[in-house]
Amino acid sequence: MIIKKIIPKSIRQDEIIGIVAPASPFNTEEFYTGVEIIKSLGFKANIPEDIFFKKKYLAGEDADRAGIINRMFADKKIKAIMSAKGGFGSMRLLPYIDYKIAKKNPKFFIGFSDISVLISAYYAFADIMTVHGPTVSSLASQDAETIESFYNTVTLKADTNFKIQNGVIIKRGKSKGAIAGGNLATLCHLAGTAYQPDFKDCILFLEDTAEKPYKIDRMLTQMKLAGYFKQISGLLLGSFDNCGDIQDIYQIFADIFKKERFPILAGFKAGHDKTNLSFLIGRKAYLNADDKSLFFENI
């Protein structure tokens, strides 16, 4: 049975974005710069005191970090939820998340990098379309294109047609499917767990940062052996910032997927680079590697 995913309501001017810290502690200067950017777009920010807690490389205890998110979903005044930072630790929250509350109160959950496990989990277990987009802290160092894309995505005004001008064709072809995925290393570590994503018929988006080519090779190989790629319809690659020679990275993808029939297009401006375009996880898309384009269906 195909379960129809819920599209949360768009965020309007003067509505509240709740800010959570599912992963690592964050730099407060970057954080508040990001908060000011959010306010400049016409939104309000709800900032719980608990998100400033620290436990070594985590922003507090697991149950506490998850509890804040659950409360944000239950709070009718909160219209969207945005992560303060990525880093490490989101995976530890998966058993503590109340997916029933989220499904009863659908709202956009926004983030990338380590937050990929949560945007994937809410999509899979609460049937909510989520947003692969910036964190509050990352807004401080990203460009105007990133901010505009974030605003247009959460207000459901985003352009549906992307011409990937600097795209690199790794494997030609066309495909369609719901777009899914996120950070390669984070998703790889879900292999073999109850939370391993099902990417059947999806256009799978992958990006990463600071991972050496041999590690990217190893992660892709593990995911392939775990069945991640068996029934995907296409691969869309974002930025691989600080991962070595980008041509080496593309060759790894070409080698690992040389026997596959789905198209692979690289160079989409999303991930850890200066530009991090936002998009809805679960939105139906059409990928044309031949002319380096990505087209989203209207919702």
The series of mean pLDDT values per 10 residues for the chain, 299 residues long, is 80 97 98 98 98 97 98 98 98 98 98 98 97 98 96 90 89 97 98 96 98 98 97 98 97 98 97 96 96 92
- Residue boundaries of the structural domains of the chain: 16-154, 161-296
CATH class of 161-296: alpha beta
Question: Both tokens of residue 169?
Answer: 């064709």
**Phi, psi angle pair for 78, to nearest 5°:** -85, 125
User: Is 74:48 a contact under the CB 8 Å cutoff?
Assistant: no
Quote the DSSP letter at residue 92.
G
pLDDT of 1 reads: 37
The separation between CA 100 and the C-alpha centre of its own chain, rounded to angstroms, equals 21
User: Is 257:227 a contact under the CB 8 Å cutoff?
Assistant: no
Polymer length of the chain: 299
Cβ-in-10-Å burial (0-12, 13-18, 19+) of 29 comes to: exposed
Residue labelled with tokens 């296409």: 234
Question: Both tokens of residue 100?
Answer: 């029933």
CA–CA distances in Å: residue 14 to residues 33, 39, 41, 46, 134:
19, 9, 9, 12, 20
Q: Which CATH number fits domain 16-154: 3.40.50.10740, 3.40.50.740, 3.30.360.10, 3.40.1360.10?
A: 3.40.50.10740
User: Is 42:72 a contact under the CB 8 Å cutoff?
Assistant: no
Cα dihedral 16, 129, 120, 38 sign: negative
Nearest of 263, 273, 112 to residue 182 by alpha carbon? 112
Quote the DSSP letter at residue 129.
-
Strand partners for 168: 266
pLDDT of 96 reads: 98
Q: Is the pTM of this model over 0.85?
A: yes
| CA–CA separation, 110 and 224 (whole Å) | 27
Residue 179: how many CB atoms within 10 A of its CB?
Answer: 21
- One-letter amino acid at 181 equals G
Question: Both tokens of residue 164?
Answer: 């990937």
pLDDT of 160 reads: 77
| CA–CA separation, 262 and 70 (whole Å) | 38
Nearest of 33, 44, 87 to residue 65 by alpha carbon? 87
Residue labelled with tokens 């620290």: 54
User: Is 80:54 a contact under the CB 8 Å cutoff?
Assistant: no
Strands (E), the chain: 16-20, 44-46, 78-83, 108-111, 130-132, 161-163, 168-171, 174-183, 203-209, 234-241, 264-266, 279-281, 284-288, 293-296
pLDDT of 139 reads: 97
Nearest of 150, 154, 164, 149 to residue 203 by alpha carbon? 164
| CA–CA separation, 2 and 36 (whole Å) | 41
